[in-house]
Amino acid sequence: MAIETGFSERSSKLPPDVFFDLLFYASSLSHNSSLEYLVSYLDRRYGIQIRKQSLDERFSEKTLKFVKSVLSRLICAQFSDVLYCEKFLVEYGHVRIKDSTKFTVPSNLASHYRGGSNNTAGISIQYEFDLKTGQFLDLTINEYVRCDQKDANETSDDVCENDLIIRDLGYFSTPVLQKISKNKACFVSRLQSSTEVYDVNNEKLDFNQFYVYMRKNGLVLCEKQVFIGTIRLPVRLVIGLVPSEVYQQRLRRKQKDEKKKGSKMTDRTKFLLHFNLFVTNVEKEKLPCDKIMPLYRFRWQIELMFTCASRSASKNWKSIFSIHALQKMKEERYITMLYTCTVYPKGINTKYAVHV
């Protein structure tokens, strides 16, 4: 793999396996490792004497390709046996779940990784996982300001026929969902509250009527064929009514979020908190409405792998791997260490994986 990626083009005093041992050793430390400390480790452990400048030069674009290639193989090997099941959604080639995390990085990286505000640097990690086979489909580092919706649009061509796409609201885009359908692939997604919904008569759907109807008839789940967005994309809308205590929790959380943003919640958004709303283009015969929410919960699997059941990937990456606190260094070395930190073996704990 080192030869294939161009990392090893000739004999070197720093073989690929020793280089990886050095990376994992650096990631295992509770403090940041300077080049001086790393060259000392090589001399002490392997008897390899190398100058700090020479070691720093080893961190290049080819090194990034090599490290990413090896680590992707490592992740696949560790999780394919945990998640793979031949009988799981056999009609789909891949069951693709995707998520991301963001955090700030040293300011010297601002020219390539723009942060969320002026004169700051930040990184977004996009990771996509095939829940059916246990394979990683994407592990990409982008700049902080690149939003999930833009990622969904720019990577829509990667979707293949018979794929099933499961993503959260950050990736929601009706044009992207339309493109997925045109590619003969399927999707399950939460419905964005600001998206207009129309019935078969091209009238806006009255959720108040649905609320009254479901409460009156003791229903907690129903579905309707609708059209969404300005492009009038045809989808199945699955409507789940949440308990009153869940609604109150959502309302308090939403009010708190809106207050932080300095904005005011609309009456429509407030009312829609009564529901779990999902849209899909999968036929009812293949995926009944009572299976939509359990299937969507599988999306959380990718977060469990990286967070060990903590609430957000970024929080766990920061707390366990301290990637937000890596010292200032050149870009190639920083990104190499970042990739290594994300999958350093101490952070991979398969006991949290959901066995399908």
Per-residue pLDDT tens digits of the chain, which is 356 residues long: 999 999 987 777 899 999 989 998 887 775 667 888 899 999 999 999 999 999 999 999 999 999 888 877 776 666 655 555 556 678 888 889 888 878 787 787 888 888 877 768 888 888 888 877 777 788 788 898 999 999 999 999 999 999 999 988 899 999 999 999 999 999 999 999 889 999 999 999 999 988 999 999 999 999 999 999 999 999 999 999 999 999 999 999 999 988 888 888 888 889 999 999 999 999 998 889 888 888 887 776 555 555 443 333 344 444 444 555 555 678 888 888 877 876 554 443 333 333 33
Q: 64-67 — which CB contacts under 8 Å span 24+ positions?
A: 64/332, 64/335, 64/336, 64/339, 65/5, 65/6, 65/7, 66/1, 66/2, 66/5, 66/6, 66/7, 66/16, 67/20, 67/23, 67/336, 67/339, 67/340
- Which pLDDT score is estimated for 282? 94
**Where are the strands (E) in 180-298, listed by range?**
186-190, 197-198, 221-228, 233-241, 275-280
Q: In this predicted structure, what is the pLDDT of residue 137? A: 82
Q: What is the four-CA torsion angle of 89, 91, 93, 99, rounded to 10 degrees?
A: -40
Please check whether residue 271 is in contact with residue 251, taking contact to mean a CB–CB distance below 8 angstroms. no
- What does pTM read for this prediction? 0.75
What helix, strand, coil percent values describe the chain, rounded to 5? 45, 20, 35
What's residue 327's pLDDT?
Answer: 59
Domain count, the chain: 1
Query: pLDDT at position 317, please?
Result: 47
- The per-residue pLDDT for 322 is 52
Q: Is residue 41 assigned to a domain?
A: no
- Determine, yes or no, domain membership for 275: yes
Residue 143 placed within a domain: no
Q: The domain containing residue 276 runs over which residues? A: 194-293
DSSP state of 290: G
Is 111 a domain residue?
Answer: no
User: What's the confidence (pLDDT) of residue 263?
Assistant: 86
Residue 130 forms part of a structural domain: no
| pLDDT tens, residue by residue, 120-175 | 888 888 888 887 777 778 878 889 899 999 999 999 999 999 999 998 889 999 99
Q: Exposed (0-12), middle (13-18) or buried (19+): which is 338, by Cβ within 10 Å?
A: buried
Pairing of strands 95-105, 164-167: parallel
pLDDT in tens, 283-292: 998 889 888 8
